[in-house]
Structure 1
Amino acid sequence: MRIDESWYRKPPGVPEHTSAGGVVVRPGDAQLFVALIREGGQPGYVLPKGHVEPGESLDEAAAREVSEEAGLAGLTTLGEIAVRERLNLKKTSWKRTHYFLYVAGPGSSVQGLAEWFSLDALPPMFWPEQRELLEACRSQIAVLVAQSLQAGRDPRKEATQRQFGQRARAYAHSASHRHDTDLDLLVEHLKPTSSDCLLDVATGTGFTAVAFGPLVRSVVGVDLTWEMLQEAEALRSGRDRIRWAVADADALPFADATFTAVTCRRAAHHFVHLEHAIREMLRVLAVGGRIGLVDQVLPDDEPGGTLMESMEILRDPSHVRALPASRWQALLARAGVALSLMQTVERRLAVSEWLELAGTDLARRDAIEAALRRASPQAREQIGYAATQNPTFLKRWVILVGTK
């Protein structure tokens, strides 16, 4: 029996049903394997899937079908990856199937009619749309799996992925992230050349990588969050010198001395292991290469520093810590960086705009307002707080450029 295009045309009046299925992958030697089921009595293989039981959510139904058909349980769930529609085998109903991505452990075995196949060498498949799904989503699957493995299931890194996965579109439209004084100074003082190979760590939606793109030989932008890189890809259009990769700043997937310049802009306060991340950046940087960092900084004086840090933590659950500029200077000196620039810039921001970018919920907004009311006049002055009709404060960033 051969499935043709007639299964993908919806006749009028045909009843509709919702199904759920799983794309289960297992990391192997430099490749990914996918679990497929031999379709009983039919040629080719299929993805595990089935109907949704009463009271089940889509993801619960998908996990149950994977367990029943492939004998796989205890999987890491990476969320819904695709939806496909067609008629059922007898052409009596229109099926809309939601597919969820799962990761199995390296030694996981399947049961029954299930087998593992390389995602790069799929066997004949019974349903054409399932093969199309795997081929169309192959790169996305690889990135999401790498992202999951590199996060190491660290809850703080997972918080970063959740926060920026949800807010990726907002950051892609942030005028300050797209272009501001700190980016101008970073480009000016890093002194990029047409022979440079540049790495942008925690590239986010790619604004820094794109700014350097025309000035260097090549740029690699890495980030922990797939959704941010999806937004970055829209910026990359027509810029062949730039490519993206999912990577953790704690474990950069590059050999020693791969790059002649490394940048990291407005991200380091999210790093769980800041000093280790800096060592990683310097490891992949060639001797004599330049490093340029930009990050938000706290006032050097108390109690303003404590007030600002408490507001940052309430605003964004992925915030780890911000440092005063003096601490940044000492940290890079210990790492062996010869600084040529350390300059602080500031921008007056509306508190409401700042909270909106992070998607801060109402309870946390109320807590920030309460913290500002309780703060001493000295603390409010040190963060530049102005209690106008639309309250504002001064956001400060330090730009550091140096040589390894």
Structure 2
Amino acid sequence: MKVLITGANGFVGKNLAVHLKERKDIEVLCAFRDDDPASLITKVAQVDFIFHLAGVNRPKDVEEFKAGNTDLTQQLADAIVASGRKIPLVYTSSTQAAQDNAYGLSKLGAEDVLTRLAATHGSNVYLFRLPNVFGKWARPNYNSAVATFCHNIARGLPIQINDPCAQITLVYIDDVVRHFVALMDGLKPDASFVTVEPQYEITVGDLSKTLHAFRESRNTLITEPVGKGLIRALYSTYLSYLPPERFTYEVPKYGDPRGVFVEMLKTPDAGQFSYFTAHPGITRGGHYHHTKTEKFLVIRGEASFKFRHIVTGEFYELHTSGEQPVIVETVPGWTHDVTNIGQEEMIVMLWANEIFDRAHPDTYALAVGDHA
């Protein structure tokens, strides 16, 4: 299949083009604003599907709205008719098409052009009145609060908020692309107007707080719940605005004659991750917990884990090594320790189900001792 993308150098176009080029069954052609009409006709004649993403939203002259939106869409529709084929088309309109302003009217005019194309020529036309689209590669200081905030906060620059209670509706670029590709692959929606789901509602103030929390997480090591939904998408977007010199950051390292202990990541509701090392013959631990639980994974070296029930005195010992990944769990009510029984430095990954609280550590010293 050959696919044409107009506006391929824009935010949505760049993301769509990358996704399409990942597929072996798609050949992507691109049309740009400066292309002459003859070039557009030639490209349209070759393709099987069109993503019409080109448009004007911040012109120097208000008359450019009509030329860059309505008139360009008419040229594209004429090229489809001239091809003699019913080429399907996706068009990115705007929620502003419902507003009485120059930009909205030019987008509405483009919608009308394509609606007539569908009615008179038979091309399937899919219209997207997109709200605020966010994601990687959107231009900051242009028409996206998310892009501007991410760019500035990632660099420690101030942001301007006029009304923190103002509500904005967002859709994520990957969800937009997913809907586009589904239509290209043959999905038949119930109507020509297609809505991208999910849509997210957030205030400008909460957006700022969330993005600042991402930045502060490098200091606190406490990450937001970035595994799903809006927070997942915002975190990915925020990271995409980091300049290369900020790709890395240091975390605290605590060392003593036994080895080092390094905290990597903390979460509000799923504990924390860290690692420690131990020199040959060194024992770490020798304590128990009432409620706290931990998972240990030896990733280098050889370890002896010892456990003793704090009431019955029952004893248990096991050995693991970095050669075979085995998770060892600490059990409440059992005092435990780990000893490096190998000849090289031992490295152990550690997850605890809660962030360490120095005021309430739930950690009580008690030697395990050897088996009687």
Q: Same fold (TM over 0.5)?
A: no
The structure with the largest alpha-carbon Rg is 2
Structure with greater helix percent: 1
Structure 2 length normalisation: TM-score?
A: 0.30
